[in-house]
Each structure stands twice: as structure tokens, then as C-alpha cells.
Amino acid sequence: MLGYALRRIAGIVPVLLILLTVSFFVIRLAPGGPFASARALSARTRAELRARYGLDRPLPVQYAAYLRALAHGDLGRSYSLRDEPVAALIGAGLPVSAELGAAALVLGVLSGIALGIGAVLRRGGLIDRALAPLAAVTLALPSFVTGPLLALVFGLWLRWLPVAGWQPDTPRDLVLPAITLALPLAASIARLTRAGLLETLSASYIRTARARGLGRARVLWHHALRPALVPVVSYLGPAATYLVTGSLVVETVFELPGTGRYLVMGAIDRDYTLVMGMVLVYGTLTLLANLGADLLHAWLDPRVRHEPE
């Protein structure tokens, strides 16, 4: 298990390096550049600005300098946001994004598993029959549609929850965004739980347990649930990728002060260091989340970690 984990962790570094390298050059290949538009600057001011941020040097030199600074934990300074250090900008927004992601993850996983179990407990009951069509609808709805619709119904018409915005330490502000982000997750997980449970329940060891006189609920809880959740766990990898990108969407819809807005803003303003910082943070998050899901999977299912490479 430890060997497997170390191999996987080591695998992240080259992927991240490739991602950073490609992004570094692609951003600079794009037409336009920092300080090109915005305000009318004199040629001299622009040259001075470019020299100050090292943009007048050849690309390979800039690249080496960026990597060297990065190795010392320095993400550089933003060109467009008053010379703020990128690390500080991201550090200020990340707690909001993380809170949103964590809330959605917990909500999605718990309600998904609960719905899946509910469907199996009463075969042909209301939950069982409603699950498939509801999941199909939920999965077809993109967050930028569900978000405004939820805000319209619960924020404006019913006035139960705030429509948008975010103040520190007010969990109410996170309810609608977290639900929006969690919906597709809950739908997928409910489907997977239901299918997994149905498959495990037809196994012979379950029949044996029932024959020994154990109750239905007990068999479900103690014998069937754990193996049935393996597909759910392997879905957590894609789910993590979804959460990272989905939070970008939801932060925009609900105007949350997370890190998501910096990506689009930075790319439009050609704020190279800001975009690179976002690529680094979101790339690392996605890779780590995928890794975590894989490790959990390997822990639950020994066949995974012994697979020959």
C-alpha cells in the first residue's frame, strides 16, 4: 500500500511540471500582452513596466526565473491587481472556495448514498421509481442554469435564503451555492449506490446471511453496503475534478469572493503570473483530489494496488 501511494505521489510531479510549462508558453503565445491595452501608457512607461516584471528578457530566461522563484515558494506579483503578490490573492480567496467545495462534497456524497439506499430498501417504491428520471434531469442541468433558478425560487420568490454574495461567518450564504454544486454529484452517487447495492444483494453470501436469519436492514448495512460502495469511491476521482471546475462556475453565479474569478480575469488581462498561479493551485488540487480518491479505492479494493504497471 505504501509503495503504491509513493509511486502515485511521485507521478504527480511530472504531470504538474508539464502543465506549468505548457501553460507558461501558451499564455505568452496569445495575442496581446500585459499593459498592452487598459490605459494609454507612454512607450517609456510601458518599457519600464515590462523591464520591472522581467518581460523584456528572452522566454527561456523568463521560464527559468519563474521556476526558480516557484521553487522558493514565490508565485510572483500580479500585473493587473495593484502589484499584489499572487500567493496573497489566492490565499485570501481559497478558504471560500474550499468551504464551498467541502460543503458540496459532504452534501452530495451523503444525500446520494442515502437516496441510493432508500431506493433499494423499498424496491418499486417512490424513491426507486423517481430516482432514474430525476437523476437524468439533474445531470442534464448545468450549474449555471440550476444556480440562477434556485436563486430565483428560494431567494427571490420564497425569500428563504440570500440570492448571492458572501459575508464571513454566515453559513446561510453558502447553502444555495453548495446545493447547486452538490446536485449532479448526488445524482451520480445515488445511481451508483443503487446499482452497486442491487448487484451485491444478488451475491450468494448475502443469500447465506439472510438464510442464517439476519434481518434485511442488518444485511444491507453490515454486509452489502461496503462492497457496494466501491464504484462510488472510484467515482470520487471524476467527482473531484467536477468539484474543482464546478466551483468556478458556482462562484461566478453566486458572486462568491473565492479564487475562481481570478482565472478568467487574469486570462483576459494577460496577467501571466496570476493565471500561472491559478493553474498551479487548481492543477495541484485536481491531481491531489484524484490521488486521494485512488488511494481510498486501493485501500478498499486490494486488486487495484497489486495491478502490474
Q: Which residues bind another protein (CB under 8 A)?
A: 15, 18-19, 23, 26-27, 30-31, 129-130, 132-134, 136-137, 139-142, 144-145, 147-149, 151-152, 156, 241, 244-245, 248-249, 252-253, 263-264, 267-268, 270, 275, 279, 282-283, 286-287, 290
How far apart, in whole angstroms, are the C-alpha atoms of residue 307 and residue 309? 6
CB of 72 to another protein, least distance (A): 25
Q: Is 217 exposed, middle or buried (0-12, 13-18, 19+ CB in 10 A)?
A: exposed
Smallest distance from the beta carbon of 129 to another protein, in angstroms?
5
Residue 49 burial (CB count, 10 A): 15
Q: Which is nearer to another protein, 209 or 248 (CB)?
A: 248
Whole-angstrom Cα distance, residue 274 to residue 126?
A: 50
In whole angstroms, the minimum distance from the beta carbon of 306 to another protein comes to 19
Q: Contact 106/179 with Cβ under 8 angstroms?
A: no
Closest to another protein by CB, 151 vs 225, is: 151
Q: Which of 180, 195, 234, 182 is nearest to 116 (CA)?
A: 195
Cβ at position 74, least distance to another protein in Å:
22
**What residues contact residue 183 under an 8 Å CB cut-off, 6+ apart?**
108, 138, 141, 143, 146
Q: How far is the CB of 53 from another protein (least distance, A)?
A: 18
Rounded to whole angstroms, how far apart are CA atoms 146 and 166? 19
**Nearest distance from residue 253's CB to another protein, in Å?**
7
Angle of helix 2-29 versus helix 59-71 axis, rounded to 10 = 140
Q: Could you tell me which of 161, 165, 186 has the C-alpha nearest to residue 175?
A: 161
Cβ-based nearer residue to another protein, 108 or 209: 108
Question: Considering the complex, what minimum distance in angstroms separates the CB of residue 259 from another protein?
Answer: 12
Long-range CB contacts for residues 56-65, cutoff 8 Å, separation at least 24: 59/25, 59/28, 63/21, 63/24, 63/25
User: Cβ(272)–Cβ(28) under 8 Å?
Assistant: yes
Residue number with CB closer to another protein (47 or 63): 63
SS3 162: coil
Within 10 Å of residue 140's Cβ, how many Cβ atoms? 10
Report, in Å, the least distance between residue 248 CB and another protein: 7
CB of 135 to another protein, least distance (A): 11
Task: Please state, in angstroms and as integers, the Cα–Cα distance from residue 31 to each residue in 37, 93, 101, 156, following that order.
Answer: 12, 29, 34, 42
Residue 176 CB partners (closer than 8 Å, separation 6+): 147, 150, 151, 154, 155, 161, 162, 163, 254
Residue whose CB is less far from another protein, 12 or 214: 12
